[in-house]
Amino acid sequence: MKLTAPVPGGPCWVELSTPDIPAAKSFYAALFGWRPETDPREEAGGYTMAHLADARVAALSPLYQPGQPPAWTIAFATEDTDSTVEKVRSAGGSLLVGPMDVFDQGRFAVVADPSGAVFSLWQGRAFAGAELLNAPGALGWVELVTRQADPALAFYPAVFGWTVNAPSGRYPQWGVAGEDFGGLLVMDDRFPPEAQSSWLPYFAVPDVDAAAATAQGAGGELLMPPTDVPGGPRIAVVRDPQGAAFGIHRAGDEG
């Protein structure tokens, strides 16, 4: 990721929805060194901020709906959540939650692209988003995993004005004004037929192999073992003990 701070159109926050916040606190503290702080206000519903030193880097949230699967959700920054929701709808996406205000922190909505991949919109006020990017333990890359590239390549530039860079010709990379922050992976036969389109966050780590071993030791499962991407970083994909998937990559090798 070439972005070092939240900017309009770029990824600005990442949030885990989980059925067991205490267990998630333990797992991610062991893996990334996060220091979790749960908002004590009843109206906050157990929302927990994860810190690296004093920087807020991610959040853990309870499940709010019956049958909601554990998952990470990526938020993209916008200067106007309501108008961006209208762009989502005009481009063929759908509104799932909101728009609504979060205290004085900002205004958000949860939406889905035409393939069903879910993401959030965040209009920062008192809180702009992640206070650290591209450092070990922080968000370093985001990836859309989908079955068809063309609809996504039309939808996201229409909504956010993203640039698309495909240096290898096989892995398009998303950017804001040419500053790449993520990519698009088309699912092939390695993915089970029931796999749905989704956004996958990647967190930077100093050593992918060591982090993968730590994740396994803490009860996680490797969906993809440590692998060198040709012309790219060393990565792995993990499922946490509650079932949420995320990636890790070697810090300093982001696109």
Q: What is the pLDDT of residues 193-212, one digit of tens each?
A: 888 999 999 999 999 999 99
**Eight-class DSSP state of 20:** -
Tokens of 177: 């004004």
Of the candidate CATH numbers 3.30.70.1230, 2.10.260.10, 3.40.50.1820, 3.10.180.10, the domain formed by 11-124 belongs to 3.10.180.10
Pairing relation of β-strands 118-124 and 71-77? Answer: parallel
Distance from C-alpha of 138 to C-alpha of 150, rounded to nearest angstrom? 30
Crossing angle of the two packed helices 21-32 and 208-217, in degrees rounded to 10: 150
99: preceding bond cis by omega (within 30 degrees): yes
- Residue pair 111/94 in contact (Cβ under 8 Å)? The answer is yes
Domain ranges of the chain: 11-124, 139-250
- What's the start-to-end Cα distance of the chain, in Å? 5
- Predicted local confidence at residue 167, as pLDDT: 66
What's the CATH code, domain 139-250?
3.10.180.10
Pairing relation of β-strands 163-165 and 118-124? Answer: unpaired
pTM given for the model: 0.94
- Predicted local confidence at residue 2, as pLDDT: 81
pLDDT > 70 in the chain, percent: 97
Alpha helices for the chain (secondary structure H): 21-32, 81-90, 149-160, 208-217
Quick check: do 11-124 and 139-250 share a fold? Answer: yes
> Stretch 182-203: mean pLDDT, rounded?
91
**Eight-class DSSP state of 160:** H
Of 4-18, 55-69, 112-126, 161-175, where does mean pLDDT reach its minimum? 161-175
Give tens-digit pLDDT for 113-127. Answer: 999 999 999 999 999
pLDDT at 221 over 90: yes
Tokens of 49: 């901020």
Distance from C-alpha of 55 to C-alpha of 186, rounded to nearest angstrom? 34
The confidence band for 189, taking pLDDT boundaries of 50, 70 and 90, is: confident
pLDDT at 254 over 60: no
Give tens-digit pLDDT for 131-169. Answer: 999 999 999 999 999 998 999 999 999 999 999 998 666
Whole-number average pLDDT of the chain: 93
